[in-house]
């Protein structure tokens, strides 16, 4: 019984210690136009910079106008830790949203959402004039950690049931 409990405790500790290593995937460092920024003229591209290299497999970036039209044009470009998505004509003034799904070098998907406002659509494309807060990265490792703890609790419960069902020694 003591050996079983020791094995279960060691397994739980190993699982908890290993989740920190598995959770180390790329994180968004910056985006241009900056999240929450306002620009008089529309940009020609959206550029995302991550803290480590990312992959191009399955990468998708949408830049939606205030009415929901995707204005992203052409192929996105992934070089090391930078993702660049060209955008077409931004003929509407208002809030544009950026929704991206990029794959980290370790295979984890990264979901990014940000927005910026264009005040005078139809002007020659330029870069944004004001900065804003950093973009919010969706997703969290909290769910993975909670799931791992729940799995370990189920394993412990099963072990207790198995030990209790064992017939007593004569």
In angstroms, rounded to a whole number, what is the distance separating the alpha carbons of residues 114 and 137?
9
Q: Is residue 111 part of a domain?
A: yes
- Identify the pLDDT of residue 153: 86
More confident residue, 128 or 39: 39
Across 142-150, average pLDDT: 75
Domain that holds residue 66: 25-139
Question: Which has more confidence, 134 or 49?
Answer: 49
**Spatial distance between the Cα atoms of 2 and 140, rounded to a whole number of angstroms:** 36
Task: Give the separation between CA 150 and CA 117, rounded to whole angstroms.
Answer: 43
Give pLDDT tens digits for 64-119.
999 999 999 989 999 999 999 999 988 899 999 999 999 888 888 899 999 999 99
Cα 145 → chain centroid:
16
pLDDT band at 141 (very low <50, low <70, confident <90, very high): low
- Provide the percentage of residues in the chain whose pLDDT is more than 70: 78
* CATH number of residue 101's parent domain: 2.60.40.1220
What's the whole-model pTM score?
A: 0.59
**Residue 146 forms part of a structural domain:** no
Number of domains in the chain: 1
């Amino acid at each position: 019984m003591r050996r079983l409990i020791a094995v279960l405790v060691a397994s739980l500790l190993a699982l908890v210690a290993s989740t920190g290593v598995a959770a180390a995937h790329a994180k968004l460092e910056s985006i241009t136009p900056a999240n929450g920024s306002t620009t008089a003229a529309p940009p020609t591209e959206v550029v995302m910079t991550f803290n480590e290299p990312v992959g191009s497999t399955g990468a998708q970036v949408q830049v939606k106008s205030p009415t929901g039209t995707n204005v992203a044009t052409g192929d996105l470009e992934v070089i090391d830790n930078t993702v660049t998505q060209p955008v077409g004509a931004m003929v509407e003034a208002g809030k544009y949203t950026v929704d991206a799904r990029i794959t980290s070098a370790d295979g984890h998907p990264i979901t990014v959402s940000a927005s910026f406002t264009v005040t005078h659509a139809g002007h020659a494309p330029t870069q944004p004039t004001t900065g804003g807060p950093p973009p919010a990265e969706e997703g969290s490792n909290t769910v993975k950690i909670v799931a791992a703890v729940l799995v370990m609790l189920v394993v412990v419960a099963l072990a207790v049931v198995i030990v209790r069902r064992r017939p007593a020694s004569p």
